[in-house]
Structure formats: structure tokens, C-alpha cells
Homo-oligomer: A and B are copies of this chain.
């Protein structure tokens, strides 16, 4: 019998994508949908792409409404998840798409988010060493940030194998849906179409400590990260260009072999054949990460580029994948590896 899932924050981009995926999930039935400012409205007016749910009405986000579901997805502004989760017992699997339970270091949390640390939950990036095991049977899941997903998948094999020096330099381009659905002047179509711009430069973006945490864990040593996010004129997608000095003696062949081994058997990550580089269009709406690696011998650097859909593998797809693992379902259930392209 199908399990029932509720989605808190169903009117936003993450919530909409979660619902798109759950509608195609054979073991999930969609329960309560909640919003705050949009409570009382029909979903058809807010998420016109979710045809089968057009007549569903949003309820206010509250523990009463969310209670009694097998799974609750939280797609709420940072800082609101802990209070909701507390009222939902261990009978409910809570999958938090917010940042609240991602960082283990309370100091990092407070420095970057400016509020008290809520704790740490099993981390929903199954491809990282040890992560899949921690997710099995879990009742709470912290879904990674979209940039940390793209970056950690790109660099963990190199750091796990000790091929790279501990200073990573990352420049990533994101589609505008990563900035959410709140109407802000700099996110208007007139402003973003035809334009690239950086933001959060110089180490201040909140996803920086999450990348450091992930890469340091696999490396077994502190990795520093210089991270520059940029806004690209497209609705979806992250292209992350990640590099680090190669350790002495690393060869291109060894690099490639390391990545092939580290990613072997992963259903949602693909190292492209040599000579081909990933494009975000190829993963549009898919739960896939595409990777390619190169050794720049003149500059002495390993360069890895990864492409994901920030809303799918970067948020909702990663959430459903982790949910599947936690519930003991086949990991790929309800998830597609096929992009909608062109």
C-alpha cells in the first residue's frame, strides 16, 4: 500500500519539484500540501505545471496538518524546520530541504546563518562515502544544498584518493530558480536574461562551509574552498567548475581511473566519455549528475566540471532518492535519469 507524503512549502520552486517527482512515484500518495502566504489558494494558480493537482487547496503550514503522514517534506525558509520537525514523531520520516540540519559545526552554522544551531541529521547525498549507510532506516534527512551537491560529487573522488592539494577553487553558474520564487528586482526576467553576474563573492556564500565539511570529511584533512557563485540566464541548472592543484606524480590516466572507480555503479552520476563535457541541458529535470575531469599539466591542476539540475538532483530529486533509501525502497524509484532536452 502506498505511503502518504505531505509537502510543506508546496508553492515554491523546491516544493513544486518535489510534487512533480512524487506524482510519478509508484509508492507515494500525495497528502497535505501547505503554504503560508498562499494558504487557501488552489495549487493550479501557483504551480500551473502540476496539472493533476490543479484543484488541490493549500493549507497553512502547521504540525496538525502535517501529522499522520508517513513522509513529510519541508521546503521552508531556513530556520523554520526544527520547530515543525519536533512535533512530528519518529513515526514520520522528515526530509528537510532547508539548511538547518546540514552543518555539524555549530560555529560554522552561527557564522553563516546567524541563528542558533539546530543539530545535524543524516546527510542526503548518498554518493558520498558512508552516506548511503547512514540514510538506511533514517527518520530524519538533511537534503544538501544545490551547490554543495554539484561540488561534492565533482571533487570527492579526487580528495578521497588523495590526488588533490587541499585548496579547492570553485566557480559555479546557477539557473535563477536557485534564488527562489520571492519577487526581487534583481531577479526580474528583464534583469537576468542576457546577463551573467556573480554574488556572494569572497567566501561569504552560505554553501561554502557545507562544501568544506563534505570535502574535508572524505579527505581526512581540512580542505579550504574558494567559492564564487554566479547567476546565469536560465531557469534551471548548475554548472560547477572545480579545480585544485594535483598532488605530485598524478597522471591523467590515474585521475580518470580514480573517477571511474569511485563512480562505478552509481545510478545517478555519470563520468562522460573522454572528450565530451557536460551541459546543464542534458540533465534538465533529471536526477543525474554528469561529470568530466581533466589534468591541466601546464598549470598543474585537476579540473572537474559537473552539471546538475539544481531543483532535481540539487534539491527535490536528491530528497526523493534519500527518502527511497531511508524507506528501504529501490533507490531509483520515481526518479528519471533522462533530461528534457533540447
The chain A residues found within 8 Å of chain B, CB to CB, are 13, 16, 20, 23-24, 44-45, 47-52, 54, 167, 169, 171, 173, 175-177, 179, 181-185, 187-199, 201-203, 208, 224-226, 228, 230, 232-237, 239, 241, 243, 245, 270, 272-273, 276-286, 288, 290, 292, 294-301, 303, 305, 307, 336-342
B232 touches A196 (CB 8 A): yes
Nearest CB in chain B to that of A195: its residue: B281
Do A187 and B184 contact each other (CB < 8 Å), given the known contacts A201-B277, A340-B340? no
Seed contacts A183-B185, A194-B194, A197-B307; 20 additional CB < 8 Å A-B pairs: A13-B342, A20-B338, A24-B338, A48-B282, A49-B282, A51-B286, A175-B194, A177-B342, A183-B188, A190-B235, A195-B237, A195-B279, A197-B278, A198-B239, A202-B294, A202-B296, A224-B299, A226-B301, A230-B239, A232-B233
Could you say which residues of chain B place their CB within 8 Å of the CB of A16?
341-342
Tallying the copies of this chain within the complex gives 4
Tell me, in angstroms, the Cα distance from A342 to B23 when the chains sit together. Answer: 17
B237 touches A196 (CB 8 A): yes
Report A14 CB to chain B, min CB distance, Å: 11
Most chain B CB neighbours (cut-off 10 Å) among A228, A276, A284, A341: A341
Cβ 8 A contact of A226, one of B203, B303, B339 = B303
Most chain B CB neighbours (cut-off 10 Å) among A52, A203, A241: A241
A235 touches B202 (CB 8 A): no
